[in-house]
Every structure is written in structure tokens, then in C-alpha cells.
């Protein structure tokens, strides 16, 4: 699959979830979740809507608080019930995120969307940030558009800018929360291509997606979530071709039919 890159299995994991539980009121959305991600690993999380897969990755950068257990990201611990501002910010500085709805800043130019955080958080000069932005925008195939505003770009272009924006912080880990779900079908490919490149370059990634073909191709490990639990995980071949759990089989037969 990804023979040209290295997964550092011996190194300490970048992400470690330890018996993480989360409730939304009555709803138990994460049940004793244990999950580790090694540096360089691409983990794709699949499952039906409402299974808790988005919640899971949103816990990793503290956008969702959790009630019990422990999450460690790049050596920093997120405690239950919402970590304190500083440690949370420290984690988020090293973790990039791409959202379903892009969430570009509509009042800023494409360039400023990408350079804002490096300048304000990393303290880079405008020139340094601009140079990096140019390089990243070119890498995701959005050159010569830096002076435009998000609303002037197509959905696929906006999502690639969102990717460049996250990469500008030079994150150690990238989270993707259904990055292609809000896109017109003809634009899904260009976003997946950019993500494929990133995976090839050895970025550690946690991806929530409904694109099963992409998951099979890019994932080092596929994690199937159902009812807030990790029901099954393994290589894409193992999970897709020979699922052991009945729920996995039911889910896959539904999504792979069409």
C-alpha cells in the first residue's frame, strides 16, 4: 500500500486514547475507546452516521470534551472535562484539522487564510508565512489564487485551501472530518488526490470518511466504529475483504453495494 513511507511502530504513538468515554446527555457516544496511532500511520475511521466517528477525532484536538479516560497527543495529555486553555492550545498547534464544511475565513484572502495562524501563533514574519503559503498552495494545486476570497473558489478548491491552511502550521498530525462529504461529486477526486500526496509524504493522518475506495487505497489501518465502540480494526484488506464482526459485514454490504 504505502511501501515508500515508514510507519514508526517502535516510536511512541502520536495519539493514544485510553478508555475514553463521552456522553451527550443520555447518549453514550464513546464507549471505552482505546486507540493508538503511530507516527506516519494513516488511520481511516469508518462507520454509519451517528456512530461516533466524528466525535472521536474531534476529541483528539479538544473540540469535544470527554468525561472519562485519557487522551495523549504528541506527549501532551488531554484530561477529561475539557483541558485547560494552554495545554489545549499546545496540542492544537501541533494538530491540523480539515472540516466537512471547509470553514475557511470568508473575510480573509486565500493568502491570509493560510498565513494567519503561522503569523499569530508561531510568530512568523509576513514574508516567511507568505513564502510558505505560496509553496503549500502550489502543492495542493491552487496557485495564482492567493489574492482571491474563499467565496470565489469552487468547493474542491476551498477544501484544498483548508488543507494548505492546516499544513502551514507544520502539524505532526492531521485530522480529517469527512473532508469530501460536502463536495459535488466531480470535486471529490481533487481533494482525495491532495490527501493521497500527503499520506505518501509520511504525514500521520486520522481520517473519517465515507469514501471506501479511498480508505482501502490509502489506509494503513481501518477502524470500524459502531454505537460508540471500536468494533473491528485491521488492514484495509482484513476489514474490507474478510470482516470478522457481523456489524462490520452489515455496514460494508450497505455501503459497498452502490
Partner 1 sequence: MDLHFQFDWQAAIASLPYLLKGVPYTLLISFGGLAIGFVIGMLFGLMRIAPSRWLRYPAVFYIEVFRGTPVLVQVLFIFYGLPTLLGGPIPAITAGIAAIALNAGAYISEIVRGGVQSIERGQREAGLSLGLSATQTFQYIIWPQALRRMIPALGNQGIVSIKDTSLFSVIGVGELVRQGQVYIAQTFTALEVYFMIALLYLAITLSLSMALSLLERKGLVG
Q: Using CA atoms, how far apart are residues 248 and 254, in angstroms rounded to an integer? A: 10
Residue with smaller CB distance to partner 1, 165 or 247: 165
Q: Give least dist CB 90 to partner 1, A.
A: 8
Residue with smaller CB distance to partner 1, 86 or 257: 86
Task: For residue 27, list its beta bridge partners.
Answer: 24
Q: Give least dist CB 216 to partner 1, A.
A: 27
* 231: enclosing H helix or E strand: strand 229-234
Q: Give least dist CB 206 to partner 1, A.
A: 13
Grid cell 463536495 is found at: 183
Residue with smaller CB distance to partner 1, 32 or 94: 94
Q: Which residues bind partner 1 (CB under 8 A)?
A: 61, 63, 85, 89, 92-97, 99, 101, 103-107, 116-117, 120-121, 162, 165-166, 169, 175
Cβ–Cβ < 8 Å for 65, 242: no
Closest Cα to residue 201, out of 6, 16, 1? Answer: 6
Q: Give least dist CB 92 to partner 1, A.
A: 5
Task: For residue 225, list its beta bridge partners.
Answer: 230
Residue with smaller CB distance to partner 1, 89 or 245: 89
Q: What is the dihedral of CA 29, 93, 174, 104, to 10 degrees?
A: 90
Residue with smaller CB distance to partner 1, 60 or 231: 60
Q: Using CA atoms, how far apart are residues 30 and 140, in angstroms rounded to an integer? A: 34
Q: Give least dist CB 162 to partner 1, A.
A: 8
Grid cell 465515507 is found at: 210
> Reduced to 3 states, what is the DSSP secondary structure of residue 185?
helix
* 90: enclosing H helix or E strand: helix 85-94
Q: Give least dist CB 258 to partner 1, A.
A: 29
> What are the strands of the beta sheet with 27-37, ordered from one edge?
27-37, 15-24, 68-73, 76-78
Residue with smaller CB distance to partner 1, 86 or 258: 86
Amino acid at each position: 500500500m504505502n511501501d515508500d513511507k515508514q510507519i514508526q511502530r517502535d516510536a511512541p504513538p502520536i495519539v493514544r486514547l485510553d478508555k475514553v468515554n463521552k456522553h451527550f446527555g443520555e447518549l453514550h457516544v464513546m464507549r471505552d475507546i482505546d486507540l493508538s496511532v503511530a507516527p506516519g500511520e494513516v488511520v481511516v475511521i469508518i462507520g454509519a452516521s451517528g456512530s461516533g466517528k466524528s466525535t472521536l477525532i474531534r476529541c483528539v484536538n479538544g473540540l469535544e470534551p470527554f468525561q472519562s479516560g485519557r487522551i495523549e497527543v504528541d506527549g501532551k495529555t488531554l484530561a477529561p472535562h475539557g483541558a485547560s486553555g494552554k495545554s489545549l492550545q499546545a496540542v492544537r498547534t501541533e494538530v491540523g484539522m480539515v472540516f466537512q464544511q471547509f470553514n475557511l475565513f470568508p473575510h480573509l484572502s486565500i493568502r491570509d487564510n493560510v498565513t494567519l495562524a503561522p503569523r499569530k501563533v508561531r510568530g512568523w514574519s509576513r514574508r516567511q508565512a507568505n513564502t510558505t503559503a505560496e509553496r503549500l498552495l502550489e502543492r495542493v494545486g491552487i496557485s495564482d489564487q492567493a489574492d482571491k476570497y474563499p467565496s470565489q473558489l469552487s468547493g474542491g478548491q476551498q477544501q484544498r485551501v483548508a488543507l494548505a491552511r492546516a499544513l502551514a502550521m507544520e502539524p505532526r498530525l492531521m485530522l480529517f472530518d469527512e473532508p469530501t462529504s460536502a463536495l459535488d461529486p466531480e470535486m471529490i477526486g481533487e481533494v482525495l488526490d491532495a490527501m493521497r500526496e500527503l499520506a505518501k509524504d509520511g504525514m500521520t493522518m486520522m481520517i473519517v470518511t465515507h469514501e471506501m475506495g479511498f480508505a482501502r487505497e490509502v489506509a494503513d489501518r481501518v477502524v470500524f466504529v459502531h454505537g460508540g465502540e471500536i468494533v473491528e480494526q485491521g488492514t484495509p484488506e482484513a476489514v474490507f475483504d474478510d470482516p470478522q464482526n457481523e456489524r462490520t459485514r452489515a455496514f460494508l454490504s450497505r455501503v459497498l453495494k452502490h
